[in-house]
């Protein structure tokens, strides 16, 4: 009798049933999970590594899990639900009919989901906390400011090559990410290869809906059983235009309303929690006309926009607001703020970067974030 998924000590189905490609890696379909460090993974062997990685989940742990699964480990240690746990829950929900098949075929598991990142970094926005390899516009700005860009760009702002599109015959769910997903032609080629029964999930900044071969996203949505659109926003209103420069809030809202007009289309808002927006989640929660998820966190030693850059006095301001106007949806944010270890060096680097971009763009952080004024003027 085969062991049930829930009986394993620390099991994650994603390396067994999902495949992900990465702009920061080789571009081949060889990343087992979109939440691991792509660069570190791609420095290793591929076929052998995925076998060893899966074996550690079966055996209850090991060095690869410790190295590559830190994001989920930290989420769970802080009392928050991790990506691993959410994916495991799928096998009691939408993938329940595939649970037994997976349990009986861990050596040769079925491919159920794919996260596809086209080998094209085109994006029309320059979000401060993003990376040049994921945004041609940010790469162009970095080149103008003398800031580093990814080695694959070779001193160009745009990276583009033909994407490797695998056989999608048995796929149940397809996730498309960018660059700006809706502005990259290869994403539409992938959708053309999928059956109508596939659930398509896209992440978009919601600002553009260009046509390719005479069709845009509004022509594709009705084709599929279900279409899920996650619109990335960092604030509700004008502040979003600042951090996701140079987006226009009115355009985003107009596109959201059009997405919502399709019966098979589910629309959600998602935020990347960072040092500048971590105190403003209540604005989205109280105003959002669609479900809102806090599913991403800027973190790590080299992530200058991480919440470790929030000074203690600003952190206390934010916590006081969350305590005073408590919503259960902010439990994750409160936990982050209560447990962060302030890093002044990161904060200084973040403000220096922000000041450089403000000067180039003609914007000013403290016009919209007065709580940062003392630090912005000092460093």
Provide the whole-model pTM: 0.85
Q: What is the pLDDT of residues 265-281, one digit of tens each?
A: 999 999 999 999 999 99
Contacts 24+ apart (CB under 8 A), 314-323: 314/279, 314/371, 314/372, 314/375, 315/340, 315/342, 317/279, 317/371, 318/278, 318/279, 321/279, 321/282, 322/282
∠ CA 113-116-117 to the nearest 5 degrees? Answer: 155
CA 272 to chain CA centroid, Å, is 7
Above 50 in pLDDT, residue 27? no
Which of 47, 74, 103 is the endpoint of a domain? 103
Rounded Cα distance between 285 and 149, Å, is 34
Please indicate, yes or no, whether residues 126 and 88 belong to a single structural domain of this protein: no
Please indicate, yes or no, whether residues 99 and 161 belong to a single structural domain of this protein: no
Which of 103, 127, 153 is the endpoint of a domain? 103
- pLDDT score of 379: 83
Q: Is residue 218 reached through a cis peptide bond, with omega within 30 degrees of 0 on the bond before it?
A: no
Rounded Cα distance between 80 and 273, Å, is 14
Please indicate, yes or no, whether residues 147 and 291 belong to a single structural domain of this protein: yes
Mean pLDDT of 312-339: 94
330 found inside a domain: yes
- pLDDT score of 368: 97
Please indicate, yes or no, whether residues 183 and 290 belong to a single structural domain of this protein: yes
Domain coverage including residue 78: 5-103
Q: What is the pLDDT of residues 108-146, one digit of tens each?
A: 898 889 888 888 889 999 999 998 888 999 999 999 999
Above 60 in pLDDT, residue 45? no
108 found inside a domain: no
Q: How many domains does the chain have?
A: 2
Please indicate, yes or no, whether residues 124 and 57 belong to a single structural domain of this protein: no
CA 372 to chain CA centroid, Å, is 26
Please indicate, yes or no, whether residues 91 and 238 belong to a single structural domain of this protein: no
């Amino acid at each position: 009798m085969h062991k049930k998924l829930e009986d394993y000590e620390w099991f994650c189905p994603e390396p067994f049933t999902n495949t992900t490609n990465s702009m920061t890696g080789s571009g081949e379909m060889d990343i087992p999970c979109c939440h691991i460090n792509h660069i570190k993974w791609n420095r290793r062997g591929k076929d052998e590594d995925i076998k060893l990685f899966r074996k550690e989940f079966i055996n209850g742990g090991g060095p690869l899990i410790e190295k590559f699964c830190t994001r989920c480990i930290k989420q769970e240690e802080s009392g928050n639900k991790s990506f691993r746990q959410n994916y495991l829950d799928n096998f009691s929900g939408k993938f329940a009919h595939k649970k037994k098949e997976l349990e009986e075929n861990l050596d040769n598991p079925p491919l159920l989901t794919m996260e596809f990142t086209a080998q094209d970094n085109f994006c029309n926005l320059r979000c401060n906390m993003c990376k040049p390899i994921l945004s041609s516009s940010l790469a162009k700005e970095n080149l103008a400011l003398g800031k580093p860009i990814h080695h694959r760009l070779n001193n160009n702002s745009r990276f583009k090559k033909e994407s490797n599109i695998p056989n999608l015959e048995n796929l149940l769910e397809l996730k498309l990410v960018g660059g700006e997903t809706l502005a990259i032609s290869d994403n539409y080629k992938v959708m053309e290869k999928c059956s109508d029964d596939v659930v398509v999930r896209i992440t978009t900044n919601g600002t553009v809906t260009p046509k390719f071969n005479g069709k845009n996203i509004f022509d594709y949505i009705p084709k599929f059983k279900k279409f899920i659109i996650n619109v990335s926003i960092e604030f509700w209103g004008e502040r979003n235009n600042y951090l996701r420069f140079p987006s226009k809030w009115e355009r985003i809202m107009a596109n959201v309303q059009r997405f919502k007009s399709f019966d098979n289309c589910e629309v959600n808002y998602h935020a990347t929690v960072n040092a500048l927006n971590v105190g403003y989640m209540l604005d989205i929660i109280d105003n959002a006309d669609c479900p809102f998820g806090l599913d991403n966190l800027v973190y790590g030693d080299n992530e200058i926009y991480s919440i470790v850059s929030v000074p203690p006095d600003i952190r206390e301001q934010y916590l006081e607001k969350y305590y005073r106007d408590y919503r259960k949806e902010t439990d994750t944010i409160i936990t982050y703020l209560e447990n962060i270890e302030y890093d002044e060096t990161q904060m200084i680097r973040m403000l220096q970067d922000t000041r450089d971009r403000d000067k180039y763009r003609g914007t000013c952080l403290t016009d919209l974030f007065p709580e940062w004024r003392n630090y912005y003027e000092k460093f």
